[in-house]
Chain A
Amino acid sequence: MKLFRRDLHSLSGAYALHALEQGAESERFARHLNRCPSCASEVREFREVATAMAFAATTAPPPELRDQVLAAAALTRQLPPEVKSHARARRARVPGRARVPWVPWLSGVVVVAAVVVAVLFGYAQAHTEQELSQARAQNQAIALVLSAPQVKLLTHATTKGGVATVVLAADRHEMVVTTSGLPALPAGKVYQLWLIRPAKTVSAGLLPSATSGQTRPVLASGVVKGDTLGLTVEPAPGTAKPTTTPILALPLPV
């Protein structure tokens, strides 16, 4: 038994560097950490070494990442703090123990958080039964996109300020578009979305009017490979072809 314990203990380095494969061994070591304070503090120290190695690898990220991250954060609801019942909360938060690090899943959660806020506006704006049931139907369609197994979150600033956030479910050929901080338009003008294609540009619908600077999500279908999402200002109630220069042209990775 003693040998077994020592053997397990020697995994602290590999564990701290995420070099254990996900599965039985990693989980067994994580359980061991709860019972072994000296192992836990060793892992903590090794993680600090790893942090120094991360700083040593410092590389300037592409400049557009900053705007993308800050814009997406502005649209993303934060988790509340954990309310801890002591021992258990502590156990659950040993670093690296989180069992969910699966990227597509994570993106889904981030994306859902970003759009949930916007979806709620849809309900807030519905005044009649009919509007409410329309909002519900639309939200169901949107929910299907958001729960698709592979979604991509794209955030891009427009040339007139504000940002558009797109949740793209490529395998469904659908996307959900929401915007934040776009300039208000004079009466008689609308924002119109387009799918820009080499052969023909097609309308992807109008942006709803904004509440607190944010437009509620709209669904666009029939997205195909090679499409670019465009946004223009058009005379109400929208046009068949874009008549002004797009303030956003975002290639869609379908």
Chain B
Amino acid sequence: MSPSDSDASRFRSVPTDRRGERDLDDLLVHVARGDQIAFETLYDRLAGPVYGVIRRVLKDSSQSEEVAQEVLLEVWRTAARFDPALGGAATWVMTIAHRRAIDRVRSITAAAEREHKIAQVDTPHDEVAEAVEASLDAERVQRCLGGLTEIQRESITLAYYGGHSYRQVAELLNVTLGAIKTRIRDGLIRMRDCLGVS
């Protein structure tokens, strides 16, 4: 694969683009057969979003690196269990990454450290935001998030990027549990339509 190819496909790999997805699916099929070169290519395509989403949730860079390593190794180890019928490769990998980040947040010690970290550092969020690569993906997601009501947007970002459970989100936003469930779901439906997910 030439460098320009892989640059272009980085953008195609957004889940709404079927072509990009299938490309990654193929790669994962080769990874499942023990192809280390395919795994290197997969790493180059997905390590950025894997690390990025984990970092958004965990904030702490060394913990994020640890979790990202575990996630990427798990992708290598369990690639044969990936089933394209259940969704694209990017979605499979990002679901694992986000799940592991959330597990880490919810394990008690990590939670304590994280509170400590937030108390210590004044602007952890801004630092992270600056490190995030400006991209078409980011613009599109920002635009679609902008189309939500404030409470929908806040519930979704607090849950997904903040790593909070919907109960915690309800608490933070001072809204009932029932309302939060609905806001998250309604917001995601709008995001789905805005992003053109089919």
Contacts and interface: CB of A to CB of B under 8 A. Distances in A.
B91 A59 contact: no
Among all A-B residue pairs, the 7 with the closest Cβ atoms: A13-B185, A59-B52, A61-B51, A56-B141, A13-B184, A57-B52, A54-B53
Contacts of B91: 44, 47-48, 50-51, 95
A20 interface: yes
Interface in A41-69: 44-62, 65-66, 68-69
Interface string B165-198: 1110100000000101110111110011001011
A72 B75 CA distance: 12
A82 B132 contact: no
Contacts of B73: 69, 72-73, 76, 110
Interface in A74-119: 74, 76-82, 93-96, 101-103, 106-107, 110, 113
A137 interface: no
A128 interface: no
Given A48-B87, A49-B195, A20 B161 contact: no
Given A53-B141, A58-B48, A59-B52, 16 more contacts: A14-B159, A14-B165, A14-B184, A19-B184, A46-B188, A47-B94, A47-B95, A48-B15, A49-B195, A55-B14, A57-B52, A57-B53, A58-B49, A59-B128, A59-B131, A95-B86
A70 B69 CA distance: 10
Contacts of A197: none
Contact of A59 (B55, B160, B197): B55
B interface majority secondary structure? helix
A209 B76 CA distance: 28
Nearest to B137: A55
Contact of A52 (B14, B72, B98, B131): B14
Contacts of A46: 188, 192
Interface stretch (B1-9, B100-108, B115-123): B100-108
A55 B16 contact: no
B165 A20 contact: yes
A57 B53 CA distance: 6
A7 B182 CA distance: 9
28 contacts: A17-B156, A18-B98, A20-B165, A44-B86, A45-B197, A48-B88, A50-B91, A50-B94, A51-B95, A52-B15, A52-B197, A55-B14, A55-B52, A56-B135, A57-B53, A57-B55, A57-B56, A59-B131, A60-B48, A60-B133, A61-B65, A66-B47, A72-B73, A78-B78, A93-B83, A95-B92, A102-B103, A110-B74
A130 interface: no
Given A20-B165, A69-B73, A101-B103, A78 B79 contact: yes
Nearest to B130: A59
